[in-house]
Structure 1
Amino acid sequence: MTRTVDLNADMGESFGAWSLGDDAGLLDIVTSANIACGYHAGDPDVMAATMKHAVAKGTGIGAHPGFPDLQGFGRRRMSVPHETLGNMVRYQLGAAQAMARAAGGAVRHLKLHGALANMASEDMAMARACYQAALSVDPEIIVMVLAGTAQQQAAQELGCKTACEIFADRAYNDDATLVDRSLPGAVIHDPAEAGRRMVEMVQEGAIITASGKRIPARIDTICLHGDTPAAVAIAADVRRALQDSGVGLAQFSGAVL
């Protein structure tokens, strides 16, 4: 049976007069889109336009909630009570659902953004608070998790539909978390290197860390960040490398762990 994997990208991250990323270019490549919900990026007009384009392309739509941090693009850590955190997730998911429905589509998955995601990958109680909130809005939503982290443990404990994710353009620590962006080599800018790494990881069924350690992992989807200068080139090279290696591309099913 042919191995298949989903390709996802974060998008809808422009705001007002400020434009970020080539969403149109990415939508020609990916199979799933994580659309910003207005807290870390995006605004109502950007959300509406991005949802419309995703529906036209037949791309799977996901809500991409983050911390309320437009200035820091949601990449600054915050201390938020779990009850408030849950309501923040509900609020952003609700906005995404409304915009998707108006565009003739529907939200099928949820993926945490930035510092919120990084913190939840280290703290299972925090991840559980976020996912329980999303499930209280839509019990059938697919939760996209960072493979091999506390996010995956929380989703498994909740018994919800799950898609396990690895990153094409980020280096990994030996505990399956992402290398901090402030450190050298944390972000991969070479499209050919990104494509080679993803083929290797998918074929081995493992996360390969910066030190060379192999961490066995379920890999359902690969993240292609949309906010880097080489984003579209990296996405295209990853897609081409996977297809050349015999890996098929398809939206994830969201099987329970």
Structure 2
Amino acid sequence: MVKSIGDEYTWAKECILDLKADNIEVEHLVTDPDSSAYRAAQDLYEEGTTSTQPEHFLDTRHVSENIRKRTKNDKNLLQIMPARTQVKRQKLLNCFSLDLTERCNAELAQARKKVWLRGRSLLPKTFKIAHSQQNIDFIRKTVNLRLGPNILEKTRLNMNINFVEGFNRSLRRSLPSNVTFKRNVTSRAHSAAHSVNFGPGESVLELCTALHCEVPVGGSAYEALKEIQKVDILQEQHKKTMQYKQFRTDKRAKLYKLYEK
């Protein structure tokens, strides 16, 4: 039976059964809001196949993106944007939806004692919504989409599936859709997973050692692989710095302004 790659229910069920075979049971399951993977875990528990009742959490990145889109399409918020024409109001609302979503995430980050970026530049400094109870209610309703009690309960562990998405990108590089690897598709997939877990340089060294063809220590190939590993680690650390995050924020703001022109 050929299974679709989009059949999340079946794939999740098989993965959970594979983990069960290794005496590992799923306790927390993080998915995007429209995924059916959690239903597979719940069904296995109700059938008695697994003994641990799974708890479902929502991926914070997908939640934020869904809220941003919903805010951008909110007709009530569109009408209170401080601009004269429909086009300008829509442009302001696009920026407002992104800014508001990130401000809500900032509140959560502050609650968890994490440092957050300051000086948001998506909206102009003169941006101001008219003060009225109706406008306050519109904005409060939007904020509650991310900071309401129900969604906070579903995202209280602050987990997401970014690591899985990153592995999928690595997997697509090893197994591009325009090439069919009939003989070594499995080994290429395993190699991609190994590279993600150990890093590009260390992965090659480990694989060569496992095949009893060790790379000579101190040789040019060894030094090149170590340098690749070092650069990969430094890039990963750099992307976590506040300086890099501020750079991405400023760049995105410039692109927004460029697009508006």
Task: Give the TM-score, by structure 2 length.
Answer: 0.29
Higher helix fraction (1 or 2):
2
> Max radius of gyration: which structure?
2
Higher strand fraction (1 or 2):
1
